[in-house]
A and B are shown apart, each in its own frame.
Chain A
């Protein structure tokens, strides 16, 4: 218990003192995971919406893949993305291996099914006649979709938080496609694993707490904007 408290204190000290290496790592983690989440939102929410509003043959099959994708092991994703991005892989000419962009790509692959699947559930649990009511009030297709998204914002915000939480905390893919290069692709999770590997448990704990604090900060902001003031929720 002692070392946990020490770890926490060290984390606060590192953040407060503005330790440049720690800040570099924190900023990169936020940038990379934030961008990956944003991409996944742009891909996942429209897809989840489309799935929820349309019936077609093969819908169950696609759904099963989306749900399966929600549980993809990040390290497996990292391996597959590596195979694509390696120099002699099909996309090797892009020179993306061991860059932050590679981590963003891998994390977007991890987060997109999470956000798509949860968006599908959020939109799908809306009253089905609501869409018809919007259309009959004279909404265009685009207006209808936007209104549905607004009505489902509780579930959709949860999807975004789940997606962000899933990628800011993953280490397998980041390690594999990023390489944990100091100053370039070292994020909080890979730095923590490295410190554990070295046997520096105090530093590892401190970094863990920094990760928890940072992740909480982001999620807290999202939660407050999800729920607004009590009376708005009606």
Chain B
């Protein structure tokens, strides 16, 4: 009995070794002209991935071009850092100030506007700081004055960078036990805010996906300062020779193509009754006053 079990275990291990060796998937049926270097590393943010948009965009792109996108979803800070080191091929982020710096440093090129959605401030239904209906800046000031619990991402993500920008604009340096920096993804941060009944700045997409679990209403929305603008940037092949420049350009072009923009514009309509993103391929930064 023991010998048989040992034999089973050994063959399981051997099977795993064999399986691990042939790890590639079966080729897709229709293939356009195969690109030279197939893998394209896309560095993007967790909220972008969590929204589910990429799960629709990427397969469409891969089917069309034969490239293979490797999505690395991290905070905006880390995504941009990867670009600065040449460890990614293309960046899809929503942190305009940081993005501009990267273009200035020459690490990224072809920064193009793709889409936007917006941020909202949610909080307890009782609204102890009384922020409902205020502008973004006024709301933040009110929360600080009331020392109401505020949950911050604290992770240099796009959301976090916007939040810090808003504080700066009202000349407040948030500090104290009411201001809690969590260092997690958006979904989990929302859960924490719900548990602690605190205010939190969030993107609308994640909020819509989670709203039944959160149980907190939208209190502030529509302020121009709350726009969440997404740009795509290609990592500069002149600076980093190992970058898959052709693949990066192809993906960026796809995002701006009619097909890509159509996918973006319609995403979420079925599930939430409203699209999660607005396609802005035809617009420029000036349209948003950036």
Q: Which residues of A contact B (CB under 8 A)?
A: 27, 30-32, 34-35, 38, 86-88, 92, 95, 97-98, 100, 104, 179-184, 194, 196-201, 221-222, 224-225, 228-229, 232
Interfacial chain B residues near A225, Cβ < 8 Å = 2, 5-6, 8-9
Contacts of A30 in B (CB 8 A): 16
A221–B16 Cα distance when bound, in Å, is 15
The stretch of B68-76, B120-128, B163-171 in contact with A is B68-76
**How far apart are the CA atoms of A222 and B213 in the complex, in Å?**
41
Q: Would you give the 0/1 interface string for B5-23, flagging 1 where the beta carbon is closer than 8 Å to chain A?
A: 1101100110011011001
* Residues on B with beta carbons closer than 8 Å to the beta carbon of A229: 1-2
How many A-B residue pairs have C-beta atoms within 8 angstroms? Tell me.
94
13 residue pairs bridging A and B, Cβ less than 8 Å apart: A30-B16, A31-B19, A86-B85, A88-B240, A179-B71, A182-B55, A182-B71, A194-B185, A197-B184, A198-B188, A199-B190, A221-B5, A225-B9
- Report how far A225 CA is from B187 CA in the complex, Å: 43
A199–B16 touching, CB < 8 Å: no
Contact A98 B70 (CB under 8 A): yes
A67 to B55 CA separation, bound complex (whole angstroms): 44
Interfacial residues, chain B to chain A (CB-CB below 8 A):
1-2, 5-6, 8-9, 12-13, 16-17, 19-20, 23, 25, 39, 41, 46, 50, 55, 70-73, 85-87, 184-188, 190-191, 206, 209-210, 213, 240, 242
Which residues on the A side are within 8 Å of B242 (C-beta)?
87-88, 92
Q: Is the contact region of chain B dominated by helix, strand, or loop, or is it mixed? A: helix
Instruction: Take A197-B185, A199-B213 as given contacts and tell me if A100 and B87 are in contact as well, using a CB distance cutoff of 8 Å.
Output: no
Q: Give Cα A221–Cα B282 distance, bound, in whole angstroms.
A: 60
Lowest 10 A-B CB distances belong to which pairs?
A199-B187, A197-B185, A228-B2, A198-B187, A34-B16, A225-B5, A179-B72, A31-B20, A35-B20, A199-B191
Instruction: Please state if A196 and B188 are interface contacts (CB–CB under 8 Å).
Output: yes
- C-alpha spacing A200/B185, complex, angstroms: 12
Closest Cβ–Cβ distance, residue B213 to chain A (whole Å): 6
